[in-house]
């Protein structure tokens, strides 16, 4: 298991963490720094997944400005996620808009790594407001 996965792993129980769903299309050890990945929830919702400073993050995989896939954008070392279509920037962990033309924050998800699998659950308002990145 990678450092990212082991830092976020649960108790080792194979069952999904409470309130979380298995993320398809990616495993914990595949997520590399400064890379963005497209993955899917069981209901088909596409997510943009990455890691910043050892913390996994996931947001809905579309820019709220023009619905371009954020997984095709850029993740910078400072934690800014940039949409490559019109240049909107967001804090990757909190989803906050940092630069327009987007005006709406991203929808974020808590990411949990358990036995190499990634699980997600919707972030609470306090999780999204905590910290700039």
Structural domains of the chain ordered from first start: 3-128 (2.102.10.10)
Q: State the pTM of this model.
A: 0.83
Show the 3-state SS of the chain: CCHHHHHHECCCCCCCCCCCEEEEEEEHHHCCCCCCEEEECCCCCEEEEEEECCEEEEEECCCCCCCCCHHHCEECCCCEEECCCCCCEEECCCCCEEECCCCCCCCEEEEEEECCEEEEEECCHHHHHCCCC
Give pLDDT tens digits for 54-67.
999 999 999 999 98
pLDDT tens, residue by residue, 94-130: 999 999 999 999 999 999 999 999 999 998 765 555 4
């Amino acid at each position: 298991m990678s450092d990212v996965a082991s830092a976020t792993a649960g108790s080792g129980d194979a069952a999904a963490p409470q309130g979380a769903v298995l993320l398809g299309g990616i495993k914990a050890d595949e997520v590399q720094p400064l890379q963005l990945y497209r993955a899917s929830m069981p209901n088909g919702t596409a997510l943009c997944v990455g890691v910043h400073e050892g913390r996994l993050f996931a947001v809905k995989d579309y820019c709220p400005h023009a619905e371009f896939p954020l997984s095709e954008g850029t993740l910078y070392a400072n934690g800014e996620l940039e949409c490559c279509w019109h240049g909107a920037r967001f804090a990757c962990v909190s989803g906050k808009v940092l630069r327009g033309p987007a005006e709406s924050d991203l929808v974020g998800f808590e990411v949990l790594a358990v036995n190499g699998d990634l699980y997600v659950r919707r972030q609470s308002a306090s999780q999204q407001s905590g910290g700039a990145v």
